[in-house]
Amino acid sequence: MNTKMKVLSLALIGAFGYAGAAAAACPAGPTTAEGGAWSSKSVLGGAIAITTPGFESTECKMDASITSTAFGSAYVRDETPAAETRYRARFVVDTTNLTGLNSLQSVRVLSANTDSPYLSISEAVRVSVFGNVTGTTQNILVAAGCEGETSNLCTASVPLSGPGIHTVQIDFQQGTVGTVDVWVDNNNEASPDFTLSGNTSGWVVDYAVLGLSTPSPGFRTSQTNKVVSFDSFDSRRQTFIASP
């Protein structure tokens, strides 16, 4: 009972209790009501579409974009975790269209959340994309709830090799000395790109969000209607999620 896989073009049976059937073609949308694998979606000031082909030889991917300069969200939600004290997740994201992304432009692409916020923080882990001052480098930022640290968060970032298709994996472990391991375009379990360490004991994972959420004002203004694609989401309790 270590594995639960959810690929956007497929609905697979796994450890967190999700059950479904493989589909030969792309669903009409990402949610179970539309033939997809996700519990729900939010498209307030945003847009989501399922398109083909996907990445890593999958049938489909999810395209998300922010369509409003005033507010915006375009994400799907997975309700299958249940008070998880350890949570691994891996996904593929294509940042090719985020041209000129600078340090004032950020957007959250994944979060692992608790139903009962602790210290006013609802995310056990959140993963964001942002740029540098000159808009020439894209970065992945990971923040985790860490009691006692500044703003009760532990944070670290890693530069991406450039705009394009990237693979991100996290491993959250709850504890008074808890950790979050992070791999970016890295398939070596023994060598994460960085590890966040702190008191994560106040957080568990009850649901996950994948897509575009909490865009900064600069992102909404400069990246409006820019499509970011997602695929190959997989979440587990224990085992490392290797690339195909």
Residue 37 and residue 7: Cα distance in Å, rounded?
Answer: 8
Q: Name the nearest CA neighbour of 18 among 216, 208, 224.
A: 208
How many other β-carbons are positioned within 10 Å of the β-carbon of residue 236?
A: 22
pLDDT of residue 15: 32
Q: Output the CA–CA distances (angstroms, integers) from residue 66 to 74, 75, 208, 220, in the order listed.
A: 7, 10, 19, 7
pLDDT of residue 25: 77
Confidence of residue 14 (pLDDT cuts 50, 70, 90): very low
pLDDT of residue 5: 41
pLDDT of residue 244: 76
How many CA atoms within 13 Å lie on the side-chain side of 68? 12
Q: Output the CA–CA distances (angstroms, integers) from residue 172 to 20, 49, 85, 169, 179, in the order listed.
A: 26, 29, 8, 10, 6
Q: Name the nearest CA neighbour of 94 among 233, 220, 230, 185.
A: 230
Mean pLDDT, range 67-90, rounded to an integer? 96
Reported as a single tens digit per residue, the pLDDT across 41-58 is 999 999 999 999 999 888
What CATH number does the domain located at 3-236 have? 2.60.120.200
pLDDT of residue 8: 43
Reported as a single tens digit per residue, the pLDDT across 138-179 is 999 999 999 999 999 999 999 999 999 999 999 999 999 999
Mean pLDDT (the chain, rounded): 90
Handedness of CA 150, 151, 153, 155 (dihedral sign): negative
Residue 21 and residue 220: Cα distance in Å, rounded?
Answer: 37
Q: Output the CA–CA distances (angstroms, integers) from residue 169 to 38, 82, 90, in the order listed.
A: 19, 20, 4
- Is pTM beyond 0.85? Reply is yes
Q: Tell me: pLDDT of 118 over 50.
A: yes
Reported as a single tens digit per residue, the pLDDT across 203-236 is 999 999 999 999 999 999 999 999 999 999 999 9
pLDDT of residue 243: 83
Mean pLDDT, range 114-125, rounded to an integer? 98
Residue, of 22 and 81, whose pLDDT is higher? 81
Reported as a single tens digit per residue, the pLDDT across 17-26 is 332 333 457 8
Confidence of residue 123 (pLDDT cuts 50, 70, 90): very high
The answer to whether 73 and 55 have CB atoms below 8 angstroms apart is no
Tokens coding 104: 């004032």
pLDDT of residue 13: 27
Domains of the chain, by residue range, sit at 3-236
pLDDT of residue 183: 98
pLDDT of residue 19: 29
